[in-house]
Structure 1
Amino acid sequence: MAVPMLPESGEPAGPPAPAAPPALPADPGPPPADPAPIAGRYALDAQVGHGATGSIWAATDQLLRRRVALKRIDIPRDMGPVEAAELRERTLREARAVAALTNPHIVTVYDILAGPDTDPVIVMELLEGRSLARTLAAIGRMTPEQAATIGVAVASALAAAHSRGIVHRDVKPANIFIGGDGMVKLTDFGTARGRLDTTLTGIGLVVGSPAYIAPELITGSPAGPAADAWSLGCTLFACVEGRPPFHGATPLETVTATVHDPVPPHPHAGELGIAIAALLEKSPGERAPVQAILPVLREIAADPSGIRVDLSRPDEPPAAAGPTPAPEDPDPTVATPSAVTQTMPSPMATWRRRLRLRRGHTASPATDTGPAIGEFTD
């Protein structure tokens, strides 16, 4: 029996929202005109998102009595039957793979609805909050400690995916969700797989986010885990500087700068500059894997677990207090180290040495323990 399809985005379902992770809008629209539950159990409430790959609906699972999000993957109507079948199968295969991942920073997939002649529908957890993109648009930029907390969450999610052979391929602030409680989740797994295996023109026209695409993808190389690492580096850069590292007036100018221009300075990065420099190596072979950068991010993060990010601004010191003295330890760890770990180099110091040697600097005990502000922005 065919799976009932979600209404087309043009049907009345409340005011459509911009493309975003599955989330409850501030003022949900009225329910769709057809009240029949999808697959006999999912009652639609309102459309809450629509993007290049499909539409997202808030719904109620009448069987388990919980709110869920339904995402329909749109199959282009002019696509041939063979290509459409391949796209459906690839979508289902990737959704199953993501459903098998167990990580607190990956949106949970509950169910997959599919039929031979209908577009796949993925049932997943419904999140309340807003994307990192909207957060940055509201606050401008955040502290390195806040950005590193987000980095821990995203890197943890990517490491779990990479260990299962899954490449996200579209890591960017719009696909990172911050819940009302500060919980950080990476969304939209797998939807970019078929779209990023294209030429430069296809990337610029279809994906629409060239500021976060790795240089090797722009030049036609296949996507791998290193491409996700680059996108994470661009995201961290945007968190502390308020904009991605490469941005031009047109998508073509942006991707051209990504390939040919050096990584610009990031003066607000603080110690996070170590992670950004390691992730934004132009050569994927020289780029830090997300698994390797996780310990560095944890040393910097306000919450080393990455579970929740606090976006409140720290109180400014009173004017009469004078300047804040520099910390005695330029590489503070998150906990008091034991006698054994005191003799071991920190991950941050290790990456300082690696980056310095890669870029022709001379390592020395004095500079290996110093601050990394602006140190690797050649």
Structure 2
Amino acid sequence: MLSPGVQLGNRYRLDERIASGGMGDVWRGTDQVLGRTVAVKSLLPALLDEPGFAERFRGEARTMATINHPGVVDVYDFGNDQHIAFLVMEYVEGDPLSATLSRVGRLTPARTMALVAQAADALHAAHVKGIVHRDVKPGNLLVRPNGTLVLTDFGIARSELVGQLTAAGSVLGTASYISPEQATGQVATPASDVYALGVVAYQCLAGRRPFEGDNPLDIAMRHVRETPRALPSDIPPQVCALVERAMAKDPKDRWPSAAVLAGAARQLKTALSRQARSGGAAPISAAPASPAPGRAQVPPPQPPRPPAAPHSPAAPRPPVAAPPAAPHAPVAGQRPVAARPPVAQPPRPTTVAPAVTGYPRGAATVPSAYAPQPTQSRPVPRRSRSGMVLLAIMLGALVVLCSGVISYKLRNSLSMPVEVSVQEVTSGALRPDGRDDPAATAYRRVDQPRPGGDETTTSEGRRTR
């Protein structure tokens, strides 16, 4: 007989019994090698004498070790000491769902859907590995203080490793949560776990099991033949439909997989939480493709409207056109363009000229008072008045300077004397008219006046033929 203080495998010390079941007890223990708290599940000594139970218990350890999911309890070790087979698992801080239901009676639909979604995710992880739990019930669903759920106790799980150890026609599982096919001795499938989880959801919502009886066999047959009582009237119809589909007698009429059940339960939980926050009674839909309730629809596109003045969006003013008397006045949003040097512009008037009927301008209307509005866009920067005056002065000075230089050049060119080069040729022979006869003399002399004086230069040379 196990008691606190007993060591198993010369390593695990049993501290406190925390649960008991048909196969054995669960203890809170201490791993003296690693110094951590663990859960130790022991198999009843009387069951070890029955052929197959020890192998099934060892198969539980191997089965659970292959599942890696946060919703499935981790397995650390397996051993046999003093004719006691034990399984060392992760110790989960929390209470079984059965203890919570015994304390509060019923759970809200949103809380129930949240737990069902987590349990269905854990079952799907086991089903992917080819494992059927076959004993889903509130006692095997541990709820942590933060609300997360962990699936445990795969002691009678059916897998490829231990499936051959189950005798044909034997019934395993708790009668209150057993599926109709299990009750009639058929092979358990993933749909059997979906049915059992639907019974758990029914108990959370109604505060009672769907079927009661004098003995387990009577209860099991009720699952096969009878229809459960309707859920309380305060349960939303969509939640009732989810539970009814999970508890269908024919496995083909149930949810196709635990993953699909998890998705539907999670969507209902989200819709119920949103409805509770809004305080309304918006319709709830479990169809994944349906739009979220209460969401505003996008309105159809409207034709464009003329922009309104920033200071009065409710009553847009008519567009303002430039006065005809000032064709070169700057237009709002454009820079002035002029071929002449810019001149100083008068201050901008504080009033706006009356609108001219005709083609409407595309620019926004100008407010009556020239004051920057906080919502107006930043105006295009313009030259200041002093800058324009300075530019005009510089251009005028440049014109005066250029004209002075040009006039000075013209004046000097007109006043320069024209020097005429007079050449005077002197030779030794004269013609009858008394002039020099260069052809008859052997040399010549040329007298040239120097520029700016009365002196002359003489150039003599012999004439060559």
TM-score calculated relative to the size of structure 1: 0.67
**Cα 1:190/1:77, change in 2 over 3 Å:** closer
Superposed CA offset, 1:77-108 (max 9, x none): 6836xx2xx43233222311211211111111
* Corresponding position of 2:197: 232
Separation in structure 2 between the aligned mates of residue 125 and residue 131 of structure 1, nearest angstrom? 15
- The answer to whether the aligner puts 1:64 opposite 2:34 as a matched pair is yes
Give runs of aligned pairs for residues 66-81 of structure 1, distance below 5 A: 66-76=36-46, 79=49
Structure 2 residue corresponding to 1:45, chosen from 7, 12, 15 = 15
Structure 1 residue corresponding to 2:83, chosen from 110, 113, 118 = 118
Superposed CA offset, 1:118-174 (max 9, x none): 332110111232111111111110111100111011101100001101111110111
- CA contact under 8 A between 1:132 and 1:176: conserved in structure 2? yes
**Counterpart code for 1:281:** A
1:290, distance to aligned residue in structure 2 (A):
1.2
* Corresponding position of 1:293: 261
Separation in structure 2 between the aligned mates of residue 228 and residue 106 of structure 1, nearest angstrom? 15
- The answer to whether the aligner puts 1:91 opposite 2:61 as a matched pair is no
1:303, distance to aligned residue in structure 2 (A):
11
Superposed CA offset, 1:301-353 (max 9, x none): 2599xxxxx9xxx89x9xxxxxx5422x53389xxxxxxx9xx3479xxxxxx
* Corresponding position of 1:279: 246
- CA contact under 8 A between 1:47 and 1:57: conserved in structure 2? yes
Task: Determine helix, strand or coil for the equivalent of 2:86.
Answer: strand
Aligned residues between the structures: 283
Separation in structure 2 between the aligned mates of residue 135 and residue 303 of structure 1, nearest angstrom? 24
Separation in structure 2 between the aligned mates of residue 303 and residue 175 of structure 1, nearest angstrom? 28
**Cα 1:300/1:331, change in 2 over 3 Å:** same
**Cα 1:249/1:39, change in 2 over 3 Å:** closer
- The answer to whether the aligner puts 1:164 opposite 2:165 as a matched pair is no
Task: Determine helix, strand or coil for the equivalent of 1:76.
Answer: helix
**Cα 1:332/1:220, change in 2 over 3 Å:** closer
Task: Determine helix, strand or coil for the equivalent of 2:241.
Answer: helix
**Cα 1:332/1:276, change in 2 over 3 Å:** closer
**Counterpart code for 1:277:** E
Separation in structure 1 between the aligned mates of residue 291 and residue 253 of structure 2, nearest angstrom? 20
* Corresponding position of 2:454: none
- CA contact under 8 A between 2:101 and 2:207: conserved in structure 1? yes
- CA contact under 8 A between 2:133 and 2:157: conserved in structure 1? yes
Superposed CA offset, 1:209-241 (max 9, x none): 312100111111111111111000000010100
Separation in structure 2 between the aligned mates of residue 175 and residue 214 of structure 1, nearest angstrom? 16
Between stretches 41-50 and 238-247, larger displacement belongs to 41-50
* Corresponding position of 2:281: 326
Separation in structure 2 between the aligned mates of residue 262 and residue 43 of structure 1, nearest angstrom? 48
> What percent of counterpart residues are identical?
32
- The answer to whether the aligner puts 1:246 opposite 2:200 as a matched pair is no
Give runs of aligned pairs for residues 169-180 of structure 1, distance below 5 A: 169-180=134-145
- CA contact under 8 A between 2:29 and 2:39: conserved in structure 1? yes
- CA contact under 8 A between 1:151 and 1:297: conserved in structure 2? yes
**Cα 1:346/1:253, change in 2 over 3 Å:** farther
Between stretches 97-106 and 37-46, larger displacement belongs to 37-46
- CA contact under 8 A between 2:48 and 2:54: conserved in structure 1? no
Separation in structure 2 between the aligned mates of residue 283 and residue 163 of structure 1, nearest angstrom? 22
- CA contact under 8 A between 1:167 and 1:190: conserved in structure 2? no
Separation in structure 2 between the aligned mates of residue 87 and residue 252 of structure 1, nearest angstrom? 22
**Cα 1:190/1:51, change in 2 over 3 Å:** closer
* Corresponding position of 1:371: none
TM-score calculated relative to the size of structure 2: 0.55
Separation in structure 1 between the aligned mates of residue 148 and residue 33 of structure 2, nearest angstrom? 27
TM superposition outliers: structure 1 runs of 4+ over 4 Å: 192-200
- The answer to whether the aligner puts 1:143 opposite 2:108 as a matched pair is yes
**Counterpart code for 1:272:** V
Give runs of aligned pairs for residues 302-341 of structure 1, distance below 5 A: 325-327=280-282, 329-331=283-285
**Counterpart code for 2:149:** V
Superposed CA offset, 1:234-253 (max 9, x none): 00010100112222343333
Gaps of 5+ in 2: 293-465
**Counterpart code for 1:105:** G
RMSD: 3.2
Between stretches 282-291 and 294-303, larger displacement belongs to 294-303
- CA contact under 8 A between 1:130 and 1:179: conserved in structure 2? yes
- CA contact under 8 A between 1:237 and 1:269: conserved in structure 2? no
- CA contact under 8 A between 2:110 and 2:268: conserved in structure 1? yes
Give runs of aligned pairs for residues 169-248 of structure 1, distance below 5 A: 169-191=134-156, 193=158, 203=171, 207=173, 209-248=174-213
**Cα 1:302/1:217, change in 2 over 3 Å:** same
Q: Which has the higher contact order (CA 8 A, sep 6+)?
A: 1
Separation in structure 2 between the aligned mates of residue 105 and residue 77 of structure 1, nearest angstrom? 29
- CA contact under 8 A between 1:170 and 1:192: conserved in structure 2? yes
Separation in structure 1 between the aligned mates of residue 47 and residue 241 of structure 2, nearest angstrom? 47
